[in-house]
Amino acid sequence: MVVWSFLLGLFLGLGLWAACRYFFYYQFSQILRGYNARPLKSPLINRVKTVLTSLQHSLDQQAEDIKIWQKIVDLNPVAYLQVDQDNLLLWCNQEARSLLGIQYPPGRLLLELVRSYELDCLIEDVRTLQQCCQREWLHTCVYSGDHSYRKPLRANGLPLPEGQVGIFLEDREEVRVLRDERDRWAADVAHELKTPLTSLRLVAETLQNRIDPSLRHWVDRLVNEIIRLSLLVQELLELNRLSLTAMDDIQRESLDLVNLIHTAWHSLEPLATAKQIQLNYDGPQTLIYSGNEAQLFRLLLNVFDNGIKYSPEQGVLQIHLKVTPRVDGGVDGGGDREVDGDGRSFLCLEIIDSGPGFKAKDIPYIFDRFYRADQARVHRPLQMISSVAIAHGTQEETTPIGSGSGLGLAIVYQIAQHHGGHVQAANHPERGGAWLRIFLPMPHS
């Protein structure tokens, strides 16, 4: 009886072992089937060796590829750095080390190596939004002891797995130099053209009343084109004058900004009436601000003229004026941020038109000189442009507002910067029209 029990247990054990072995062999064969190992009739151990050899070769090849790509990135003329979820510097190429002055090995906190609040904010924006973000700023570089200079940088951040962030940095110094040279050349040309254009206009206006009436429309067209060129020259000279004037050198005076808004709108009323566009003002009845009245008047004229230009007939130009302690994030979607850290409040002027709004691709460039979102748009006839006072005050001489060559918003941006402020552009989330927000710092209380 004991023998039969032993034999029965033995057979059961051998059967269980054979079943487990078959199940294991079958499962392992199924796994190896996808690796193009040896033929299925080959011994299992040989097939395993083949797969392991193939995987090792693949890992070695990937390691070589990683080294090649790291070398390419390291020698790339575009700066690149990468941080982990704790903002520890994992790696940066030679260009980044040269551009940011990093002289320490990776593994340290980025903010310890690069004193840049803007770069740190960009990394947090990328990690929070989980999308590519861009930011531009003036980075302070220190060299030869205590000497320093400010270099314009543009950074593009992209999210990586496990909370890591990659940053591409671009030195914009050459772009700034080329832009300055372009602006200087344009100002020089404008200065040289001012006198001959004035002479041409005088000659053309003299001919208007001395030629056959059937030919007068040709002279009228000539006068209009000369006026448009004269306005272009005037705008270029104005931009050049603003760029050469320091913020501390502008002459400020106490003025009622609400009254200035209504005065600017009254100057454009003929143009608004022609399209039956109404002004809807929302804000305090009076607001005293210290600024340059002539510059702020020109700023209001340009933004109102732009709103009227792109609003449909019987539209509404919405104006909001308020004082806020914060400035919303710009077109890069960076969220709320303080313009400066001295605790000042900011005057916020919002202009919302009834037009189709800005195209997303145009928003970063609408404040650039000569940039026009719709390149196929023709110039407005000068007959439709309202006349306003050249100098706000008692002078009665009048001139059209702008040339329509893409300089109006550039002047607005320059004037806001001269007052220590900032201009942001977007499309209104509810109305859909173009949404300009002008932030001007209030004086210390």
pLDDT at 29 (0 to 100): 66
pLDDT at 260 (0 to 100): 94
pLDDT at 348 (0 to 100): 92
Residue with tokens 């000659």: 203
pLDDT at 234 (0 to 100): 82
Angle at the Cα of 391 (from 387 to 395), degrees rounded to 5? 85
172 within 8 A of 154, measured Cβ to Cβ: yes
Where do runs of H (alpha helix) occur along 316-376? Answer: none
Q: What is the pLDDT along the chain (445 residues), one digit of tens a residue?
A: 777 777 778 788 878 877 776 676 666 666 666 665 555 555 666 666 777 777 788 888 888 888 888 788 788 888 999 999 999 998 888 888 888 888 766 678 888 888 888 899 899 999 999 999 988 888 877 655 566 677 889 999 999 999 999 999 998 888 888 877 877 887 788 888 888 888 888 888 888 888 888 888 888 888 888 888 888 888 888 877 777 777 777 888 999 999 999 999 998 988 899 999 999 999 999 999 999 998 999 899 999 998 998 899 999 999 999 988 755 544 433 333 334 445 568 899 999 999 888 888 888 888 887 776 654 344 444 443 333 333 333 333 334 566 566 788 888 998 998 888 889 999 998 888 899 999 998 876 5
Using DSSP's 3-state secondary structure scheme, residue 135 falls into strand
pLDDT at 44 (0 to 100): 62
Compute φ and ψ for 92, nearest 5 degrees: -150, 150
CA distance 197 to 178: 28
Query: What is the per-residue DSSP string for 153-188?
Result: EEEEEEE-GGG-EEEEEEE-HHHHHHHHHHHHHHHH
CA distance 22 to 364: 67
CA distance 385 to 276: 15
Q: At what angle do helices 293-310 and 257-267 cross, to 10 degrees?
A: 50
pLDDT at 84 (0 to 100): 92
Residue with tokens 């893409």: 406
CA 7 to chain CA mean position, Å: 84
**All domains of the chain, ordered by start, with CATH?**
76-171 (3.30.450.20), 173-244 (1.10.287), 249-333+342-441 (3.30.565.10)
CA distance 57 to 428: 57
Token output for 132: 């590519």
Residue with tokens 């039956």: 276
pLDDT at 255 (0 to 100): 93
Residue with tokens 């900004």: 257
- CA-CA-CA-CA torsion sign (182, 183, 189, 190): positive
pLDDT at 259 (0 to 100): 94
258 within 8 A of 321, measured Cβ to Cβ: yes
pTM: 0.58
